[in-house]
Chain A
């Protein structure tokens, strides 16, 4: 380190006047993040219980519990940092998009081998990430190709193992958030965030990437191109949840955006108006599996929904981003 030379900051902009981010960070954690993870762990607990009570794929109680728990996951699925990223927990809950069909392969592999991993939660947690989580459970409950693969007993064990694994993961996230919350609300030496600005930027990134994922992937993947729509690529289409995921994620992101813009009423109003438009469009679609991507008339309305999400993204990046000290760097934002 003898030759270590630290040049003066040659060209860094005058840093934005130090602002107290504390109240917004605290409110976002206490009102947006912690209750949502608590709801997820409650719902996943109920799902694991339901699978224990009745592991039949067509069981109405099990399916209802699956829907409630999946709803709760989608409502936190934009919070991809901290406890969600430890040990690939988020992917273990939701391995999607599955472009190479790893989930059915993993499930068929377990069933064909009658893999004993289903008997131990620790062992199951070591199996392929693609055969775990909500999308694996969806295929076991709704995909006819798994309705008679292997024995009834093994399928039952597998469904229970997946549900228990979801519950363990959800609880681990919820538990970790209890301590990680202070990392966001008290940035500094004992936190991965060195300042309130950095903590705000993490939340802003969650908003922006959440919008991007919902617009480009949840909608974009089934849309494909006009000439080649891909309705079979819609997220959770087997249980007809594709549009619901768009709606739920927009509702969660709207709440996050409201918190982040709390100090700037005009920006908050712009964002809220844009979210309102997008959510209204989503609710008016009446196309649960987004099958309409393949029909010109219905596709047009899905394109309009995607455009309204892009409109929110534009407001977030041009209005909200600059207030949070987000560098508008040409290269830093490029990601290439």
Chain B
């Protein structure tokens, strides 16, 4: 974020809500949704050491969140096929407003702000058409401005590229309809894509995997400061196969798929939950809650550098010394050259750990 002060000045003039910077809430490093022991679902602000700085109630199970680039505001998204997203003032613990998906749409659980903080983009399902859309919201008053096609079916994670003008979208390829719960409707014909769109919705590049991997749903993303995109996948095909669950892509090039040796790869049950680059950007890791594993690779060589056994691990983000991760058993930990448990609060951390600032 080279132009932080510039954004701040611009926003102060336009925003309708009281502005507080992230420092005023005790500078959380990450956001994560969790189930707390009293049965409430909350969005928590965490520091690298695992201390919970705030924990704000959500109406139902959350999934991921988007942190405003400047203001201490976060948008917490419902787990699909939820239709709510809460805009939260992370300084006061209050709900500023609530986004409701328009008629015929539901959220997929991820979203991202424009670099100037004026717009919010959300991945959504146009479920009668069975097509993905990106919703556009005014981030000052959170009114809906419009939408454009996501470039595929089932858009899940979405990130802003370092140029600040391009969205990269994981179109997972799987069609679902809220009337049918989470049933997958099109596995024989699914075609996941990594789609690059500009902020007006123009498709700039579509990346597909070879046909033999058309059942490898591209779900989650991480972006390095130099524009290298990493994607995590979930295999919907024959369980006897253990295809790669991690890919790297640079605009204009072919994707590079990374896999562990079969002895390790075969334990992952074809499912990666989250993905992140290390703080220094030299390593990439995926969490695999079904295989109870965290696999770390060297980006340059593409080789596995560590396979760690961690029950129900899923949340993952860059850390000052490598990675920070969370588990469904409550652990907040750091992965440096080894795994260290920082804290174990009495809650179940949900899928994702969202860094508030890019660490790299």
Given contacts A213-B183, A331-B314, A336-B79, contact A100 B130 (CB under 8 A): yes
| Interchain nearest-CB distance for A254 vs B (Å) | 21
Kindly supply a per-residue 1/0 record for chain A positions 284-324, scoring 1 wherever the CB is within 8 Å of any chain B CB and 0 otherwise: 00000000000000000000000000000000000000000
| Interchain nearest-CB distance for B261 vs A (Å) | 7
A224 to B187, CA, bound (A): 21
Contact status A336-B63, CB under 8 Å = yes
Of the A-B pairs whose beta carbons lie under 8 Å apart in the complex, a sample of 25, sorted by A's number, is A4-B304, A4-B307, A5-B307, A6-B309, A9-B309, A9-B311, A10-B311, A11-B327, A11-B331, A85-B238, A99-B177, A99-B185, A99-B186, A129-B188, A192-B239, A216-B182, A220-B180, A221-B179, A223-B179, A331-B289, A331-B328, A331-B349, A332-B290, A334-B79, A335-B234
Residue numbers in A under 8 Å from B348 (CB-CB): 330
Contact status A91-B188, CB under 8 Å = yes
A6 to B35, CA, bound (A): 29
| Interchain nearest-CB distance for A305 vs B (Å) | 16
Contact status B306-A3, CB under 8 Å = yes
| Interchain nearest-CB distance for A79 vs B (Å) | 13
A319 to B275, CA, bound (A): 33
- How would you classify the secondary structure of chain A's contact residues: helix, strand, loop or mixed? loop
| Interchain nearest-CB distance for B288 vs A (Å) | 9
Kindly supply a per-residue 1/0 record for chain A positions 224-241, scoring 1 wherever the CB is within 8 Å of any chain B CB and 0 otherwise: 110000100000000000
Residue numbers in B under 8 Å from A91 (CB-CB): 187-188
7 closest pairs, A vs B, by CB? A330-B328, A331-B314, A331-B289, A329-B312, A216-B181, A332-B289, A91-B188
Residue numbers in B under 8 Å from A10 (CB-CB): 309-311, 339, 341
Query: Does B165 sit within 8 A of A, measured CB to CB?
Result: no
A-B contact count (CB 8 A): 133
Contact status B35-A3, CB under 8 Å = no
Query: Does B334 sit within 8 A of A, measured CB to CB?
Result: no
- With CB as the reference atom, state the residue of chain B lying closest to A205: B239
Interface size (B, Cβ < 8 Å)? 55
Query: Does B175 sit within 8 A of A, measured CB to CB?
Result: yes
Given contacts A7-B339, A12-B292, A331-B312, contact A99 B179 (CB under 8 A): no
| Interchain nearest-CB distance for A199 vs B (Å) | 12
Contact status A331-B351, CB under 8 Å = yes
Contact status A220-B181, CB under 8 Å = yes
Contact status B304-A331, CB under 8 Å = no
Query: Does A149 sit within 8 A of B, measured CB to CB?
Result: no
A221 to B128, CA, bound (A): 12
A27 to B358, CA, bound (A): 55
Residue numbers in B under 8 Å from A332 (CB-CB): 271, 289-290, 292, 312, 328
Query: Does B350 sit within 8 A of A, measured CB to CB?
Result: yes
Residue numbers in A under 8 Å from B57 (CB-CB): none
- Given contact pairs A129-B188, A230-B179, A327-B292, enumerate 6 new A-B contacts (beta carbons under 8 Å): A3-B306, A6-B309, A9-B311, A10-B309, A213-B183, A331-B273
Residue numbers in B under 8 Å from A213 (CB-CB): 183
Contact status B188-A212, CB under 8 Å = no
Residue numbers in B under 8 Å from A335 (CB-CB): 182, 234
Query: Does B254 sit within 8 A of A, measured CB to CB?
Result: no
Query: Does A8 sit within 8 A of B, measured CB to CB?
Result: yes
Contacting A at CB under 8 A, from B255-273, are: 261, 271, 273
Query: Does A13 sit within 8 A of B, measured CB to CB?
Result: yes
| Interchain nearest-CB distance for A81 vs B (Å) | 6
Query: Does B200 sit within 8 A of A, measured CB to CB?
Result: no
Contact status A336-B351, CB under 8 Å = yes
Query: Does B329 sit within 8 A of A, measured CB to CB?
Result: yes
Residue numbers in B under 8 Å from A130 (CB-CB): 189
- With CB as the reference atom, state the residue of chain B lying closest to A216: B181
Query: Does A112 sit within 8 A of B, measured CB to CB?
Result: no
Query: Does A18 sit within 8 A of B, measured CB to CB?
Result: no
Given contacts A6-B309, A331-B289, contact A97 B188 (CB under 8 A): no
Kindly supply a per-residue 1/0 record for chain B positions 186-206, scoring 1 wherever the CB is within 8 Å of any chain A CB and 0 otherwise: 111100000000000000000
- With CB as the reference atom, state the residue of chain B lying closest to A233: B179
Query: Does B338 sit within 8 A of A, measured CB to CB?
Result: yes
| Interchain nearest-CB distance for A105 vs B (Å) | 12
User: Among the listed A5, A95, A225, A329, which residue makes an inter-chain contact with B306, where contact means beta carbons less than 8 Å apart?
Assistant: A5
Query: Does B305 sit within 8 A of A, measured CB to CB?
Result: yes
- With CB as the reference atom, state the residue of chain A lying closest to B344: A11
Contacting A at CB under 8 A, from B300-335, are: 303-314, 327-329, 331
Query: Does A1 sit within 8 A of B, measured CB to CB?
Result: yes
| Interchain nearest-CB distance for A246 vs B (Å) | 14
Contact status A216-B183, CB under 8 Å = yes
Given contacts A11-B329, A99-B177, A100-B130, contact A329 B183 (CB under 8 A): no
| Interchain nearest-CB distance for B209 vs A (Å) | 17
- With CB as the reference atom, state the residue of chain B lying closest to A3: B305
Query: Does A52 sit within 8 A of B, measured CB to CB?
Result: no
Contact status A217-B183, CB under 8 Å = yes
Contacting B at CB under 8 A, from A82-110, are: 85-86, 88, 91, 95, 97, 99-100, 102
Given contacts A102-B189, A129-B188, A192-B240, contact A327 B312 (CB under 8 A): yes
- With CB as the reference atom, state the residue of chain A lying closest to B305: A3
Residue numbers in B under 8 Å from A230 (CB-CB): 179
Contacting B at CB under 8 A, from A179-210, are: 192
Query: Does B109 sit within 8 A of A, measured CB to CB?
Result: yes
Residue numbers in A under 8 Å from B219 (CB-CB): 336
Contact status A88-B188, CB under 8 Å = yes
| Interchain nearest-CB distance for B215 vs A (Å) | 9
User: Among the listed B63, B79, B261, B310, which residue makes an inter-chain contact with A1, where contact means beta carbons less than 8 Å apart?
Assistant: B261
